[in-house]
Structure 1
Amino acid sequence: MKDYKEISKKSFNEDAEKLNLEESSEENKFFMKRESYDIVQEEVKKENFDDFLDIGCGIGNSIELLLKEFPESHFIGLDIAEKMIELAKKKKLSPEHTEFIIGDAENLPFDGHSPHQSFDVVICKETFHHFPHPEKFFTEVYRVLKPNGRFIIFDFATTEISRWIKNNITNSFSSHGICHHYNIQEVTDLYKNFNFEILRAENVTDDRMIVSGRKIIKEQTK
Structure 2
Amino acid sequence: MIKYLLLITTVVFISCTTTRYNRQEVYLKEISRYNLNNGDTLVDIGCEIGFHDYQIAHYYPDLFFVLEDIDANNLEQIKKNNANPQFVNPMKAGYELVLGTADTIPLREATYKKILCRKTLHEFAQPGKMINEFKRILIPGGEVIIVDINPKYPGQKYHDCIQPFLNKAQIIQLFANEGFLLKSAASFTARFTDLQDGNILVFTK
Q: Is the TM-score greater than 0.5?
A: yes
Question: Which letter maps to 1:83?
Answer: N
Question: 1:179 and 2:163 equivalent?
Answer: yes
User: How far does the alpha carbon of each residue in 1:107-132 deviate from its partner, in whole angstroms, 9 at most, with x for none?
Assistant: 0001224xxxx211101111111110
1:163 equivalent in alignment to 2:163: no
Of the two structures, which has the highest relative contact order with CA contacts closer than 8 Å and spacing of 6 or more?
Answer: 1
Partner of 1:213: 203
Equivalents in 2 of 1:64, 1:122: separation in Å? 16
How much does 1:46 deviate?
A: 5.1
Cα distance, 1:97 vs structure 2: 2.0
Q: TM-score, normalised by structure 2?
A: 0.72
Task: Identify if the C-alpha distance between structure 1 residues 194 and 119 changes in structure 2 by more than 3 Å, giving closer, same or farther.
Answer: same
The alignment's TM-score, normalised by the length of structure 1, stands at 0.67
SS across alignment from 1:210? strand
Please state whether the residue corresponding to 2:48 is helix, strand or coil.
coil
Relative to structure 1, is the Cα distance of residues 35 and 78 closer, same or farther in structure 2, using a 3 angstrom cutoff?
farther
Structure number with greater Rg is: 2
SS in structure 2 at match of 1:91: helix
Please report how far the alpha carbon of residue 39 of structure 1 lies from its aligned counterpart in structure 2 after TM superposition: 4.2
Q: Which runs of 5+ in 1 are unaligned?
A: 1-24, 216-222
Matched-pair contact (CA < 8 Å) for 1:40–1:154: no
Task: Please state if 1:64 is matched with 2:61.
Answer: no
Identity, % of aligned positions: 26
- Matched letter for residue 52 of structure 1: L
The two structures, once aligned, show a CA RMSD in angstroms of: 3.0
Q: Pick from 109, 112, 120: which aligns with 1:112?
A: 109
| CA shift for structure 1 position 34 | 5.7
Unaligned runs of 5+ in 2: 1-15, 83-89, 190-195
Provide the residue aligned with 2:67 in structure 1: 77
The amino acid of 1:55's aligned partner reads I
Correspondence list, 1:132-211, <5 A: 132-159=125-152, 162-164=153-155, 166=156, 176-205=160-189, 206-211=196-201
- Give distance in 2, aligned partners of 1:211 and 1:123: 10
Superimposed CA distance per residue, residues 116-166 of structure 1 (whole angstroms, 9 cap, x where no aligned partner): xx211101111111110000010000111111111011111023xx224x3
> 1 CA distance for matches of 2:64 and 2:53?
10
Cα drift, residue 65 of structure 1: 2.8
Q: Is the 8 A contact 2:63 2:93 kept in 1?
A: no
Amino acid at match of 2:154: R
Residue of structure 2 equivalent to 1:87 = 77
How much has 1:202 moved relative to structure 2? 3.8
Confirm or deny: 8 A CA contact 1:85 1:100 kept in the other structure: yes
